[in-house]
Structure 1
Amino acid sequence: MAMAALRREGRRLLLSPITPNPSSAARSAMSISPEQSAPIGLRSISTQVVRNRMKSVKNIQKITKAMKMVAASKLRAVQVRTENSRGLWQPFTALLGDTPSVDVKKNVIVTITSDKGLCGGINSTSVKVSKSLFKVTSGPEKETKYVILGEKGKVQLIRDSKGSIEMTVTELQKNPVNYTQISVLADDILKNVEFDALRIVFNKFHSVVAFIPTVSTVLSPEVVERESEAGGKLGDLDSYEIEGGETKSEVLQNLAEFQFSCVLYNAALENACSELGARMSAMDSSSRNAGEMLDRLTLSYNRTRQASITTELIEIISGASALTG
């Protein structure tokens, strides 16, 4: 055993001078294993990072496509209900009129937004219109308050208009919007908020990729009667005679309450329909952007991997040439 070990050691010592002054590439190849080489390790980390990024982008793309499909499935049903609801408030507009330029002392801006995000700039548009309307209706002897429907509008308006917010309502769209729910909400607003004019700000649905910021005005019975007595004709109301023993004030009170609930119901449906259309468009754009990013990452991954393979081949060939030369 000892003699065999000595013979092996002597054979190693005799063979070692055969390769005088090996090149630096050969020395590095013989002395450092591929697992311990820093450049190869860095390349492996680089490809792993790109691979993880590609996996994340693929997962995001799956989520955006799923959200687009969900919004598309909900849009059709809401769109039909929205188109049917437009026939509720149009007779009131013909009867009482819609006078956004009326000058009153107490204005209440009812801003309708969504509870969820990822739907483009639909909520920002409603907030911008509300802020502009707040500046127009404010004055030394005037009072303007906000009634906010939706979490997104609440978050944006509470930053600089916290003292002007009279009432907030969230999770309105947790369940499908129905007239019973909206009528209870409208009655709650009328009981808790003093107003001369209610200005409802919402996004009217035009198409899947377009919505129109809209403001509807509902006047209080006192203002309607005052404007009518002052000679200003509000719709076709003055063309009808009141029968049944009710006074004009009582009729206007009932009409104003019913008008507000109908307009609010239509506005909530219009905004919900616009939200789904905007979410479809936003998720479609996100899916396309994710696909483009995935293409760029795939190209980068292939280039990095090819460069790593080429470098390793060059090192192997250089080491083999140094050993045989």
Structure 2
Amino acid sequence: EMAPRGGRSVSTQVVRNRMKSVKNIQKITKAMKMVAASKLRSAQQRVENSRGLWQPFTALLGDTPRIDVKKNVIVAVTSDKGLCGSIHSASVNVSKALYKLISGSERETKYVILGEKGKVQMVSDSKDDIAMTITELQLQKTPINFTQISELADIILKNVEFDAIRIVFNKFRHVVIHWPTVATILSPEVVERESEAGGMLGIWIHMRLKRGDEIRSASESCGVPVACVRLLILIS
């Protein structure tokens, strides 16, 4: 079709090709959304299932974020890839704030960074304080599982000296909200010291519940399953 003299013209065929291209992109995008939604549901289900393993023990023993120790290790959990910069930034910012909070003249504080994204953000101004970095976490084709986490934990425990490890991660709430969270893990020496000082940790290490009614009473008072109470007694 010819445009008026002096006016702009666009070939009808060019417009048709462009519309066809846009429709194809819409189909691809819709398929990608469906795949992403499926992966999200699967990952969310694994997260919810894993909470039954650690939440009861946290309820029993509690967390000790303010414990005073000389050697602290901050584990910043990020990923190697992903268009989720705010999640990585939150983990890094909380880690840096925690470093300032627990550092001191007589304390040694180091970072362990999981994921390339956290490494990139922290190496510029905290290079001297980084004890180790672990990247390429997503080369594993299988979903993250207990075996992989155990291997990562072994690497950290064998290569870093610590009295307390502070794990900084984003706790999943829903798709658009993740809460920056800090979990504390104590060394065996500090656990023994704290158990002698009393508190929930000391109570459970020194208690030996045998009768069923005592175990049920402890379960009800702490708000955790009976099976978790029995398991804690076995390992204490």
In the alignment, the residues of structure 2 paired with residue 196 and residue 238 of structure 1 have an alpha-carbon distance, to the nearest angstrom, of 19
**Maintained 8 Å contact 2:60/2:200:** no
2:76 aligned with 1:111: yes
Provide Cα deviations, 1:83-130, integer angstroms capped at 9, x if missing partner: 111111124324443111111111111111121131251111111111
Residue correspondence of structure 1 range 65-214 to structure 2 within 5 A: 65-174=30-139, 175=141, 176-214=143-181
**Maintained 8 Å contact 1:113/1:123:** yes
Higher Cα Rg: structure 1 or 2?
Answer: 1
Secondary structure at 1:86 match in 2: helix
> Which ranges in structure 1 are unaligned for 5 or more consecutive residues?
1-33, 243-254, 259-325
Q: Alpha-carbon deviation of 1:157? A: 0.9
In the alignment, the residues of structure 2 paired with residue 200 and residue 97 of structure 1 have an alpha-carbon distance, to the nearest angstrom, of 15
Runs of 4+ more than 6 Å apart: 50-63
Provide Cα deviations, 1:126-180, integer angstroms capped at 9, x if missing partner: 1111111111111111111111111111111111111111111122233310111
The residue identity in structure 2 corresponding to 1:97 is G
In the alignment, the residues of structure 1 paired with residue 99 and residue 24 of structure 2 have an alpha-carbon distance, to the nearest angstrom, of 43
In the alignment, the residues of structure 2 paired with residue 98 and residue 138 of structure 1 have an alpha-carbon distance, to the nearest angstrom, of 19
Residue correspondence of structure 1 range 237-252 to structure 2 within 5 A: 237-241=204-208
Secondary structure at 2:104 match in 1: coil
In the alignment, the residues of structure 2 paired with residue 118 and residue 80 of structure 1 have an alpha-carbon distance, to the nearest angstrom, of 21
2:206 aligned with 1:216: no
Secondary structure at 1:158 match in 2: helix
Secondary structure at 2:182 match in 1: strand
**Maintained 8 Å contact 1:95/1:235:** no
In the alignment, the residues of structure 2 paired with residue 215 and residue 239 of structure 1 have an alpha-carbon distance, to the nearest angstrom, of 27
In the alignment, the residues of structure 1 paired with residue 93 and residue 179 of structure 2 have an alpha-carbon distance, to the nearest angstrom, of 13
**Maintained 8 Å contact 2:69/2:107:** yes
- RMSD value, Cα: 3.3
Secondary structure at 2:106 match in 1: coil
In the alignment, the residues of structure 1 paired with residue 174 and residue 26 of structure 2 have an alpha-carbon distance, to the nearest angstrom, of 25
Secondary structure at 1:121 match in 2: helix
Q: Alpha-carbon deviation of 1:64? A: 5.5
> Which ranges in structure 2 are unaligned for 5 or more consecutive residues?
210-231
In the alignment, the residues of structure 2 paired with residue 143 and residue 213 of structure 1 have an alpha-carbon distance, to the nearest angstrom, of 23
In the alignment, the residues of structure 1 paired with residue 22 and residue 94 of structure 2 have an alpha-carbon distance, to the nearest angstrom, of 36
Provide Cα deviations, 1:277-307, integer angstroms capped at 9, x if missing partner: xxxxxxxxxxxxxxxxxxxxxxxxxxxxxxx
In the alignment, the residues of structure 2 paired with residue 121 and residue 53 of structure 1 have an alpha-carbon distance, to the nearest angstrom, of 35
Corresponding position of 1:321: none
TM-score, L = length of structure 1: 0.54
**Maintained 8 Å contact 2:196/2:202:** no
The residue identity in structure 2 corresponding to 1:114 is S
Secondary structure at 2:80 match in 1: coil
Q: Is the strand fraction higher in 1 or 2?
A: 2
**Maintained 8 Å contact 1:227/1:233:** no
Change (3 A) 1:62 1:156: farther
In the alignment, the residues of structure 1 paired with residue 24 and residue 133 of structure 2 have an alpha-carbon distance, to the nearest angstrom, of 36
**Maintained 8 Å contact 1:94/1:236:** no
Change (3 A) 1:55 1:239: farther
